[in-house]
Amino acid sequence: MPKQVTIITRHTKGGSWKWGKELAQKINENSPYKVHLTDNLADILKNHFSTHADLVHSAYPLWPRLYKKPFVLTIHGNFRKEGWRQKFFYPKAIRSADTVTVPSNFLKNELNLERVRIIPNAVDVNEFNQVPFRQNLDNPKILTVMNFNFWHKAKGVIEIAKVLSRISHEKRQNMEYTIVGDGPERLKVQNEIEHFKTDFLKVNFAGFDDPKKYYANADLFAYVSGFDNMPISIMEAMAAGLPVAANQIGALSEIITNGVDGLLSPDPENYKYNVIRLLEDSDLRQKLGQAARQKVKEKFDWSVILPQWINIYSELLK
């Protein structure tokens, strides 16, 4: 009889939900453990008090925990700033967990955690085909994939639209900007972006959708956020071989080596400069895209990350 593991994620569709869904699938396919995944609020409440599983792995701050089974807590963001009502449970959940993990050194330092293990987010590179490379961009297609749960994160899309509006107007160049994702702040962002549309810039909001087909049709991936940690969407774009232009925020420097497998910008003016470089320099786009895909394959593919989770489970269930 295989050992049973319950993985708990937040019910909102975003990074934590996606992480839990993929981790459960990979564990079930490639380990001796049997995983049950839940994002149901009633099940989450039950897991505060009892569980039939041999181990509980939660991205939700379970407290109180009235059972002796091993408990792994994974923290994906700075709960002190995110505004979730459950943030008050995190300190006690951290103390009661057998193992606490975070995806990045940045978050470990941001939360001032000592008893913590760092296991990065992951993607399956084999699920992403290398995007077709277009040398001449008459009508470049720029893509952003982001959830709209927090204003400080979502407003980065407005900053991107503002930069693209300026570039398209100055260069008299047609561009197409597509944003994939949804959340409570999306309509506010969408209304703000109306101010930056021009005859040269077409903006599409695709809503919540599988981003794979959008990566395949893009020429570059644009990302700006005022509040972030380790976005899975950037890893996915890199896995698809897209050149990435992002701002220096959170743990992005732990994913991207600036100038080697992506471009990171310290300020909006530099961000505009980097986007222009990518639009005008086909060799740079190709070089960064190829290096990005290789980086993810070597450091962030599930084949590299999954054994780290299996090791934790094995340590606690031996």
Judgement on whether residues 113 and 232 belong to the same structural domain of the protein: no
Please state, as a whole number, how many other Cβ atoms lie within 10 Å of the Cβ of residue 111.
Answer: 17
Q: Over the stretch 84-115, which tens digit does the pLDDT of each residue have? A: 677 889 999 999 999 999 999 999 999 999 88
Judgement on whether residues 151 and 274 belong to the same structural domain of the protein: yes
DSSP code per residue over 53-113: SSEEEESS---S--S-S-EEEE--S-HHHH--GGGGGHHHHHHH-SEEEES-HHHHHHTT-
Q: How confident is the model at residue 83 (pLDDT cuts 50, 70, 90)?
A: low
Judgement on whether residues 147 and 38 belong to the same structural domain of the protein: no
Residue 228 has pLDDT above 80, yes or no: yes
Domain count, the chain: 2
CB-based contact 236:216 (threshold 8 Å): no
Whole-angstrom Cα distance, residue 250 to residue 275? Answer: 20
Of residues 40 and 256, more confidently modeled: 256
Whole-angstrom Cα distance, residue 222 to residue 164? Answer: 10
Judgement on whether residues 113 and 138 belong to the same structural domain of the protein: no
Judgement on whether residues 106 and 168 belong to the same structural domain of the protein: no
Residue 142 has pLDDT above 90, yes or no: yes
Beta bridge partners, 247, equal 265
Mean pLDDT confidence for 148-171: 94
Domain hosting residue 191, numbered range: 126-299
In the chain, DSSP finds a helix count (H) and a strand count (E) of 14, 12
Judgement on whether residues 185 and 241 belong to the same structural domain of the protein: yes
The domain spanning residue 288 has which CATH number?
A: 3.40.50.2000
Judgement on whether residues 262 and 135 belong to the same structural domain of the protein: yes
Judgement on whether residues 91 and 167 belong to the same structural domain of the protein: no
Judgement on whether residues 158 and 275 belong to the same structural domain of the protein: yes
Judgement on whether residues 41 and 25 belong to the same structural domain of the protein: yes
Judgement on whether residues 73 and 196 belong to the same structural domain of the protein: no
Q: How confident is the model at residue 198 (pLDDT cuts 50, 70, 90)?
A: confident
Please state, as a whole number, how many other Cβ atoms lie within 10 Å of the Cβ of residue 66.
Answer: 10
